Structure 1
Amino acid sequence: MAPLKYLEQEYPILDSNFRNFCATHGIFSEEDLLLHDLHVLVAFAEQQSTSERLKQGITQVLSIIDGQHQPWLNGMELLEDAQLNKHVLSTGCEGIDLLLQGGLRMGQLTELVGASSSGKTQVCLLATSNVAKKHMDGVVYLDTGNSFSPQRVIDFIRQNPDPAIDQAKHRILQKVMNRILCHSVFDIFTMFDVLHQLEVNLRSQMQKGDCQVRLLIVDSISSLVTPILGGGGSQGHALMTSAGFLLKKLAHEHNLVVLVTNHTVGGEGGISKPALGESWKSIPHVRLRLSHDQGSSIYNVSVLKHPSMASGKAARFTIYD
């Protein structure tokens, strides 16, 4: 969802007067408006000399939000969409690709769940290097914990020999690394800003018939969401749900692979479970659990949730240092 300042060009009623009114109530984006008591907000608007225009602006923002929900599709439309657009994207990891019958499916949100040092970031960096090397389209990497390592990406590229890279290493590596755009993102509101700008860019590229992003990574989504879930209010859960739907919307409308990571927390009987609770559980299309055999380069991956695969299927893979 968008900051209000980006909407005026398309919706003139959301002008500086409307935005100033909203700002006095701490509203700077569509998400902020959703978290307010609309009856109270309208009551404040009615006290202003431009009350009718302000109320029309509130209605316009709500209409924009309603329009962002995906339309109903029948089975044939879904099948055609899957056949035409929703192909798979290799992660560069043979074990994961074999388990997922080719790799990560475009148009879907895939979540990697695991404890610290389970391989989540390593898989993200490996997928980044593989996509940037093999495709002209790029990668957008949202780094929430200073874990993005350009040197590790280069190491992965060099671990998978390619004659073209061997013949012109420096030039090819420059091209590959230029296809990767990394943003440091340390709170969920910054993430919304970055994703909205990405959405604007993707729409512009789509109009020109040229899409330049194939993979979007958020490492990790839980580090952004967990701080806003405290307390007894519903605001944090509303923001988390909005973030999930925006990521899925980007995946579906622009045929991207969206890959996010999530940590684990203690569950019943001491068995760990994915963080972020039941509200988040339904958002990813695919959930994979990662674990690491300590002291080795062997990792494990198992299916927690998949639209066309039984839960529990598992594989092992290797990531070398």
Structure 2
Amino acid sequence: MDKLAVPPAVSISLERAGLRSLSEILEYSSGDLVRRTGLKVYQVQGLIETASEAVLARFKPLTAQDIRQIDNQKLSLGCPLIDETLQGGLLPRSLTEVAGTSAAGKSQLCLQLSLTVQLREKHGGYSSKAVYISTEGPFHSKRLKELAQFMAGKYSYLNAQTLMDNVLVHHSATVQELKVLLNHELPCLLQKNPRNIRLIIIDSLASLFRVEYSYDDSSRAYDLKLIASSLHLLIYQHQLTIVCTNQMTSDTKSNTTRPALGELWSNMVATRLLLLREEGVDNNAAFCPGVNPVPRLLQIDFAPHLPNNTMNYYIDDEGVHGLDAIDPAILDTFD
């Protein structure tokens, strides 16, 4: 529990009720807190006031010029053509979802972002570190090393080892572990490194919820809302760009696929990018335009500043790259 100036009896009641963070306390109404903790109404009112003041104290005042400068600093995805499609890159101080089919390149794009955030501002980066939260399987350290070596060769001021050292990796195997990370460990890390960490990646959020909850589980919706609230709090407290990957799920009614996690999660996301890949193609096949095409499509599903748009892309040893023209033959494979 974050240290709060509350009486010992209140602190004990919170611990017994399993409320261990400010965000968890403020998620409940005063009536719910009375029922859950057994505290008196006046005690709960004082608790809410104290918790609210503690949250507000974490916010660092920004001038209008500060906000304007931050909002103009979009994060490059490492490819000029993709950046052009996104009108400069990912929005700062925003939650972006990268959803897609299996082997479409979601993790590849996230690894690339964990390196581009370290570029200087004139090259589309923030000169900052990234936190990469992996939820399934081992982290792709070998692939990150390959990408870091290529990027270090492209920019003389970068070093491959330093690039890798600036990607802080954490593995969360359960929803509870992720909640503890977002509500306790990350805030401490960010407070100790102000403005030195600007990108958080969760790869992938859907995998945790798919394993732990049934579709109609009410606690699933509650935990998903709690995590989304924690992410938005981190964004505005620390001026972060946050990227979460999501998987696709089948919609039996329409015989189509759609991003997992449902409408509740969709309403929490500012921008959604879809990465689509033709089914039945060798997962290990590399894309070489005109030689060995593996159809992939990047689609802007929604964004507050962008129209719906589509572009083809490919993946090679050096990363994810856009194509300067949409191939109608490839586009047809996704209809």
* Contact persistence 1:229–1:237 (CA under 8 A): no
1:309 aligns with 2:293: no
Question: What RMSD in Å do the two structures reach over aligned CA positions?
Answer: 3.3
Q: 2:156 matched to which residue of 1?
A: 164
State the alpha-carbon separation in 1 of the partners of residues 63 and 257 from structure 2: 35
Distance 1:156 1:20, change over 3 A: same
SS at match of 2:5: coil
Q: TM-score, normalised by structure 2?
A: 0.74
Aligned pairs (5 A) from 1:1-321: 5-6=1-2, 8=3, 11-13=4-6, 15=8, 17-30=9-22, 42=34, 58-63=44-49, 83-86=68-71, 87-132=73-118, 134=120, 135-160=126-151, 161-162=153-154, 164=156, 172-196=159-183, 197-206=185-194, 211-227=195-211, 229-230=213-214, 232=216, 234-267=218-251, 268-293=253-278, 294-295=281-282, 296-297=286-287, 298=294, 299-311=296-308, 313-321=309-317
Code of the residue aligned with 1:242 in structure 2: it is L
Give the structure-1-normalised TM-score: 0.77
Secondary structure of 1:238's counterpart equals helix
SS at match of 2:93: coil
User: 1:78–1:109: structure 2 CA closer, same or farther, 3 Å change rule?
Assistant: farther
Give the Cα separation in 2 of the matches to 1:282 and 1:68: 27
Structure 1 residue matching 2:149: 3-state secondary structure: helix
- Secondary structure at 1:157 match in 2: helix
Q: Which letter does structure 2 place at the counterpart of 1:13?
A: V
- What is the CA distance between 1:32 and its match in structure 2? 5.6
Query: For residues 125-147 of structure 1, what are the alpha-carbon distances to aligned partners after superposition, in whole Å with 9 as ceiling and x for unaligned?
Result: 11112223555410001110125
Secondary structure in structure 2 of the residue aligned to 1:89: coil
Q: In 2, Cα distance between the equivalents of 1:162 and 1:316?
A: 24
On the 8 A contact 1:111/1:260 being kept in 2, the answer is yes
For 1:180 and 1:158, how far apart are their aligned partners in 2?
14
Deviation at 1:227, TM superposition (A): 4.4
Q: Which segments of 5 or more consecutive residues in structure 2 lack a partner in the other structure?
A: 57-61, 121-125, 288-293, 318-335
SS at match of 1:230: coil
- Residue identity in the other structure for 2:90: L
Alpha-carbon displacement from aligned partner over 1:4-37 (angstroms, at most 9, x marks no partner)? x22x2xx22164x434333434444456657889
State the percentage of identical aligned residues: 23
Q: Which has the higher helix share?
A: 1
Residue of structure 2 equivalent to 1:74: none
Matches of 2:64 and 2:303, distance apart in 1 = 17
1:143-200: CA deviation from partner (whole Å, max 9, x where unpaired)? 10125212211211223433637xxx9xx22222221100001122222222233223
Alignment partner of 1:264: what SS? strand
Alpha-carbon distance between aligned partners in 2 of 1:158 and 1:43, rounded to the nearest angstrom: 56
One-letter amino acid matched to 1:20: I
Q: 1:64 to 1:153 in 2, by over 3 A?
A: farther
Offset of residue 286 of structure 1: 0.4
Q: Which range moves more in the overlay, 21-30 or 285-294?
A: 21-30
